[in-house]
Amino acid sequence: MPKVRRKRRSTTPKTNPLSRPKKTLAKEIPIQEQATKPAYFDIIADPSNSIKSKSTGNFIKIGKPPRNLKIPDSWDVKPGDVISWSEGRPTETFFVTSEGTLLKNPDTSGSGYLTIPLSITSQFSDVLDSYSTVLDAVGRNNVSSIELLPTDAFFAAHFAKQPLPASIRNRTDIKYSFEPNDEILFVTLPSNPDECQEFALNSAKLDDIIQYISNENESKGKLVVKFNFEGKPTCSKAPRGIVTGLPTGWQCQQQGSLMFGETKIQGEWICQGPDKSKDKARKAIEKFYKGLNVEIK
């Protein structure tokens, strides 16, 4: 079972402190596939040979981003293009919007990495293919999140050649984002907007995602796992890190402080998920700590 992470910052503004706003919907921004893939312009690396003039076809020498972030009429750029004034991480990287303005990297990681927001990706039916050139230019290790529509070709391409079922594709309250470096899909449900579930491309199946979403409104069960291992022989056998192998829909989080040393390992997990699979979760925890004495209650 994939792990759970705390949710990244949303690229949509808050309107109510008690609820998270929905992402831009597909109905609000119709998909208009571009004739060519989005281009990447690195102004810092090559300021005189990046963007061309629409009228002359010659390269324009570009300085800083326009103060009002409105794209000059002379720039030969198109919606979805990426323009970088960054040195190092893409902190000063901008997207060309369909309104003719520049949208600064929303950086949902909070650490200077690139986020490709839904307001941009919703214009493309196959985002990973469309942005392959940009990802190569920026570096996949510098991209923290690519926000996706549930109708994107990503799902059929990576999960058994099948798209998400219509009942899920038609929902506008579920958030999807992809981390290209680690190849992990994150799914955030409206019932728990502060956390997101991980689905690794190399192990997750489409049914895992469907079941996770389908279990959203079911009654929840909880298991508290406490462990206190002492002595080098015992600690050398103990797994380090969060419990893995839990049933679909179950999440495991750290409770309090953890200690991992050569002669002492101590800590506590809280595992939560659908109550109907609580027994399976208990067995998964026992298997994870096989041969070791842990308290599960």
Q: By the 8 A CB rule, do 138 and 175 touch? A: no
CA distance 109 to 115: 8
Q: By the 8 A CB rule, do 176 and 185 touch? A: yes
CA distance 163 to 155: 5
Q: What is the DSSP string of 89-141?
A: SSTTEEEE-TTSBEEE---TTSSS-EEE-HHHHTT-SSHHHHTHHHHHHH-GG
Q: What is the pLDDT of residue 8?
A: 52
Bridge partners of residue 294, in order along the sequence:
227
Q: By the 8 A CB rule, do 127 and 148 touch? A: yes
CA distance 73 to 100: 9
- Enumerate the domain spans of the chain: 4-214, 220-296
Q: By the 8 A CB rule, do 131 and 38 touch? A: yes
Q: Report the candidate in 146, 113, 114 with the shortest Cα–Cα distance to residue 128.
A: 146
What three-state secondary structure class fits 69? coil
What three-state secondary structure class fits 48? coil
What three-state secondary structure class fits 263? coil
CA distance 34 to 248: 37
Q: What is the pLDDT of residue 121?
A: 97
59: Cβ contacts below 8 Å, ≥ 6 apart:
48, 49, 50, 51, 52, 53
Q: Report the candidate in 128, 207, 201 with the shortest Cα–Cα distance to residue 162.
A: 207
pLDDT in tens, the chain (297 residues): 444 444 455 554 433 333 333 333 333 334 444 447 999 999 998 888 889 999 999 999 898 999 999 999 999 999 999 999 999 999 999 999 999 999 999 999 999 999 999 999 999 999 999 999 999 999 999 999 999 999 999 999 998 778 899 999 999 999 999 999 999 999 999 988 888 888 888 888 898 899 889 888 888 899 999 999 999 999 999 998 889 999 887 888 888 899 999 999 999 999 988 899 999 999 999 999 999 999 999
**pTM to 2 decimals?**
0.73
CA distance 160 to 145: 23
Q: What is the pLDDT of residue 162?
A: 84
93: Cβ contacts below 8 Å, ≥ 6 apart:
82, 83, 84, 85, 86, 104, 105, 114, 138
Q: What is the pLDDT of residue 200?
A: 87
Q: What is the pLDDT of residue 20?
A: 35
CA distance 154 to 288: 32
Bridge partners of residue 59, in order along the sequence:
52
